[in-house]
């Protein structure tokens, strides 16, 4: 995920304390999670900024790496003005809107980021009909002129996310982009890493995501020391 990384792969063990099942090995692109000269999995401070209301600009901007999502609510204001990685959902109507926006590349958060993350792997053409839902090819073409790295999260990560969320979900879980990216970061940082700092996660929005199950996983990961979930100024999710 971090653009100065060597372009190689490794297998990362899933941290046992954060999961509901025994550890398994999940392949990830090591370039996603390394910085130069230090390995971000162990040393770098990392802020992951959701799109719920947050007012932690100073703390967020102090992190070595700042990951934001989609339209990056609060960027340049209440949630700070730094971004190193921007995750852009590459399936559904939101990406279609960005593709139609001639000024998308001029958006401040797009201009400021050092790398992009696409959370969904590319669907084969035959699975993307009759209605287009996967815009990965078009997204890559849109972002290519920026000259910055574009990282795509693998299907193995989605399988792991569904496994983790299934016990608290009816039917097949459909994880949110925020959950997928945070899970990938937690898995990559490994044992002994300082907890990543999660801001602006309200666990609310599109009803197709299993928000209650995602909140429960965040609480479990926090108890295990993998992340710290900063409370919202006004939490929209009743307890």
At residue 92, the pLDDT reads 87
Give 87-104 pLDDT, tens digit per residue.
999 998 899 999 999 999
In terms of Cα–Cα distance, which of 185, 161, 183, 181 is closest to 173?
Answer: 161
Distance (Å) of CA 131 to CA 55, 93, 126, 198: 39, 11, 11, 35
Q: What is the pTM of this model?
A: 0.82
At residue 38, the pLDDT reads 39
25-29, 181-185, 211-215, 217-221: segment of lowest average pLDDT: 25-29
Pick the CATH number of 9-229 from 1.10.1740.10, 3.90.1480.20, 3.40.50.620, 1.10.10.10: 3.90.1480.20
Res. 158: pLDDT tops 90: yes
At residue 217, the pLDDT reads 96
Res. 117: pLDDT tops 70: yes
């Amino acid at each position: 995920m971090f653009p100065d990384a060597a372009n190689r792969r490794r297998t990362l063990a899933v941290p046992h304390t954060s999961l509901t099942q025994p550890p398994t090995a999940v392949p990830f692109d090591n370039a996603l999670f390394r910085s130069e000269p230090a390995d971000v999995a162990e040393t770098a401070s990392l802020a992951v900024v959701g799109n719920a209301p947050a007012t932690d600009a100073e703390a967020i901007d102090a992190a070595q790496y700042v990951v934001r999502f989609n339209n990056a609510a609060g960027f340049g204001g209440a949630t700070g003005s730094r971004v190193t990685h921007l995750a852009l959902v590459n399936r559904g109507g939101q990406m279609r809107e960005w593709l139609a926006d001639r000024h998308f590349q001029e958006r401040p958060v797009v201009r400021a980021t050092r790398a992009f993350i696409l959370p969904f792997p590319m669907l084969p053409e035959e699975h993307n009909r009759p209605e287009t839902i996967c815009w990965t090819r078009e997204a890559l073409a849109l972002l290519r002129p920026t000259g910055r790295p574009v990282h795509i999260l693998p299907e193995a990560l989605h399988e792991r996310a569904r496994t983790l969320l299934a016990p608290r979900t009816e039917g097949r879980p459909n994880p949110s982009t925020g959950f997928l990216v945070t899970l990938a970061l937690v898995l990559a940082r490994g044992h002994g890493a300082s907890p990543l700092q999660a801001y602006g996660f309200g666990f609310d929005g599109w009803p197709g995501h299993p928000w209650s199950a995602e909140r429960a996983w965040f609480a479990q990961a926090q108890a295990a020391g993998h992340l710290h979930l900063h409370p919202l100024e006004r939490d929209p999710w009743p307890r």
